[in-house]
Structure 1
């Protein structure tokens, strides 16, 4: 039974430690505990949250040791426990770690204390870290890779009594990106829509998934890459109707083509998808999509496209030409060149 299932069964631990860079899981843990550990009337009296970059931990411990008011338990969330992280940094606040250690050894039976540590690694050499990991229900909130995200999406849909096949999951990831908060919201929306079926298919995902500006531009670039001129112009005009600034659109288009160029060049040098993602500091799924697009171009093609986009950027900033027309000319030049 995992930590989420235990909470849903109201099998609470007096101490929770959630650490890692994926803050969605921290938010999810907090929301689950609020939902199952406290009722609505108790929240004002028995829930508190502290930022340990600003507040000494002993104040939070005193709160946890205080008997709950008009309820069975207290919930105390401690954000940014800087004394746990591996990287050294100057702390603004002095913490009484002796008092914290004493509390960890004998936590109040009526309180739930959550340590939310948004750090890649904890300092495992410290006594405080060792004892907390031994005593607390611990969950590593790591960033998910593509395969893990696909599994997570399917499981989240299953929890809503819905099924999603690989095509629907891939479509959702392509349209909504890899942000778990956004994906969770989209899955909830799709599940609510699919009242007469237990299956969420790729077509439903395409129709209902909200697209960010970046994703709309990603779709525009996809149409450009695949030579679909009419669909490219249709997306572009739709973005203009949404009052998106042409100079902003041009910037995002250029960043997409730069990524395709960089990915192609690094792949040519023998780097794998994960290594490329680490070098460019982007999600591996974005690298995968860029690699697929990169196959349609030579390095010389991409260099020319990037040069053309730079000329468009210069024209937008220095000439009297209508900015909307600058991108139209780019699209016409791009498709005209590919038809030669």
Structure 2
């Protein structure tokens, strides 16, 4: 079941007796658990009917004892196990899960790791409760997710703004949401999220960011690329070289991929490259003219080399400052 379907059911007060929330993306687990907490009980009912336990400290006997109690002056009670990954006797909840209390909602939050449901306990959870795996988004899914999230806040974000936010905020959704909420608080409902607003409220420069840097390299704009390198060197915390290399690796990998499908139809090219619209394809078409297949491949090798150098790996360790590595890498990319 999708997290959105679970949220919709919870808001309608349609609760499962047991929720097992597991997986690597903690944002979705927190979102579902918080929504259940908000809707399972009224505020005045929580003092007597809400129990929060932590896996490091609790055992199955405490959980069962709490879950078997009757609610006090309320329709139901709520028991939440946080950090369930650390609970050594988690599987001992089997007897409870096989016959859960009809007046208790038990929420098990198993963050940062996918749970194996092959055990008797796992099979009982799937049979009696609601299981949700919180999978991290792929990088190419983040821009659309950002646009949808902003839409839920009654804000509009075009492809360029969504890509810029995704490029700099990354795929850690807790961090992404924190910045988007800050943005939503500071601009009027119904606004278009522009690069200027992003720069003003999140601190991403509309002129000096990885998104613009890769475009400058793609167009072989030597002056602009070198100007941006100087800015990155002056602001190393905002622009670490590993982030820049990762972004450029994705960019040139797509240029390389474009050459293999260049004669295909536009829909086929978009699907193969994982692009959302022809808006982005135009940029790759242009960059592919400046970087034929062999040169795109050479740039990818350069990026791998400097990724190792930046991490001080093996014979690639140079001891050079990041700024010097960035200058040298940029020069070599522009002169392949």
Unmatched 5+ residue regions in structure 2? 262-273
> How far apart, in 1, do the equivalents of 2:306 and 2:16 lie?
59
Task: Name the residue aligned to 1:317.
Answer: 319
Name which of 104, 117, 126 aligns with 2:119. 126
Q: How does 1:5-20 map to 2 (within 5 A)?
A: 5-20=8-23
Task: Name the residue aligned to 1:50.
Answer: 54
Q: Is the CA contact (8 Å cut-off) linking 1:18 and 1:116 kept in structure 2?
A: yes
Unmatched 5+ residue regions in structure 1? 83-90, 271-283
Q: CA RMSD in A?
A: 4.8
> How far apart, in 2, do the equivalents of 1:60 and 1:299 lie?
56
The alpha-carbon deviation at position 226 of structure 1 amounts to: 3.8
Secondary structure in 1 matching 2:24: coil
Matched, 1:106 2:110: no
Secondary structure in 1 matching 2:190: coil
The alpha-carbon deviation at position 3 of structure 1 amounts to: 1.6
The alpha-carbon deviation at position 26 of structure 1 amounts to: 0.4
Secondary structure in 2 matching 1:317: coil
TM-score, length of structure 1 as denominator length: 0.64
Task: Name the residue aligned to 2:63.
Answer: 60
Secondary structure in 1 matching 2:8: helix
Matched, 1:192 2:173: no
> How far apart, in 2, do the equivalents of 1:310 and 1:140 lie?
34
Indicate how the Cα distance of structure 1 residues 267 and 75 shifts in structure 2: closer, same or farther if over 3 A, else same. Answer: farther
> How far apart, in 2, do the equivalents of 1:337 and 1:298 lie?
12
Matched, 1:76 2:79: yes
Secondary structure in 2 matching 1:78: strand
Indicate how the Cα distance of structure 1 residues 121 and 227 shifts in structure 2: closer, same or farther if over 3 A, else same. Answer: same
Name which of 132, 151, 156 aligns with 1:139. 132
Indicate how the Cα distance of structure 1 residues 72 and 78 shifts in structure 2: closer, same or farther if over 3 A, else same. Answer: same
Q: Is the CA contact (8 Å cut-off) linking 2:216 and 2:224 kept in structure 1?
A: yes
> How far apart, in 1, do the equivalents of 2:42 and 2:82 lie?
22
TM-score, length of structure 2 as denominator length: 0.65
Q: Is the CA contact (8 Å cut-off) linking 1:309 and 1:330 kept in structure 2?
A: no
Secondary structure in 1 matching 2:163: helix
The alpha-carbon deviation at position 171 of structure 1 amounts to: 3.6
